[in-house]
Amino acid sequence: MTRDKRHFVRMKRIIYQLAVIAVFAGIDFAPLDVHAQADQGWTREKAAKWFAGMDWFKGGSGAPSKKKYDAFGRELEDESADTASNAASKTIVNAGLQPAPPVNMVEFARQYHANPSRWDKAFAYLKNTDFSTLKPGRYPVDGDDVYAVITLGPPKNVDDTTTWESHRNFEDIHYVISGKEKIGIIPLAQAKVVRQYDSARDLAGYSAKGSYYVATPGVFFIITTEEAHRPGIRADGSDMVKKLFIKVRKS
């Protein structure tokens, strides 16, 4: 068994244990409404078993498109001129990535199976791109259906100016490239709307009291449209954060 395969098997075992704990503790953030469990009969137990198998992450192991882009997301005609990305590399650049709890496994299962191609491209981009070389900006992954945004700046303090948010049209993958931050995540039903949905920005604002999780390199967060989240909060010992957001259009 190769080293990469041993690592993947070990990671599957860890994820399975987390999934089982999440099911019995009731912390998988799965919505209780009927539509959330209708597609393919996605119960919490079924979604947790599928999630623990990690097949959804293996699907993104292939090399992404060989097209290359500059720091402004413009396609380069001469691939040799690209100094911004090695996303076409067949080697997994970011090995050992793991999903962080909490995960709304039911909603993620529904969305993944509705359009696995989009999610596979998103995870391939996450695993195969050297983000240390990329400047802040927007980068296309699959047209307007999947795209990445890289930011760089100081994290925010928790105060009245930082509100919770949610989206309707895009699911999120959050990944801290360097530094450290806290991110709040809570079921949407437990948040109170304070800023009405803006369709142009695909954004609504909320007030809520939710749990915070520490985001560090090596761990990514899957946030569906069924959660409100509050990213970019200052964590001890980190004054600058470089972060990746991958936006995946909801099916």
Does the residue 245 lie in any domain? yes
Per residue in 204-222, pLDDT (tens digit) is 999 998 899 999 999 999 9
pLDDT at residue 240 above 70? yes
Q: What is the pTM of this model?
A: 0.75
Per residue in 148-207, pLDDT (tens digit) is 999 999 999 887 567 899 999 999 999 999 999 999 999 999 999 999 999 999 999 999
Does the residue 79 lie in any domain? no
CA distances from 146 to 18, 113, 124, 138 (A): 28, 16, 12, 11
Per residue in 35-47, pLDDT (tens digit) is 443 456 899 999 9
Give the model's pLDDT for residue 35.
Answer: 42
Does the residue 44 lie in any domain? yes
Residues in the chain: 251
Give the model's pLDDT for residue 98.
Answer: 94
Give mean pLDDT, residues 48-57: 95
Give the model's pLDDT for residue 88.
Answer: 40
Give mean pLDDT, residues 54-65: 69
pLDDT at residue 133 above 70? yes
37: amino acid identity, one letter? Q
Note down the domain range covering 45.
3-62+84-249
Does the residue 73 lie in any domain? no
Residue 156: Cβ within 10 Å count: 16
Give the model's pLDDT for residue 79.
Answer: 42
Q: State yes or no: cis peptide before 102, omega within 30 of 0.
A: yes
CATH number for the domain that contains residue 219 = 2.60.120.370
Does the residue 71 lie in any domain? no
More confident residue, 66 or 164: 164
The count of domains in the chain is 1
Per residue in 74-123, pLDDT (tens digit) is 555 544 334 344 444 456 888 899 999 999 999 999 999 999 999 999 99
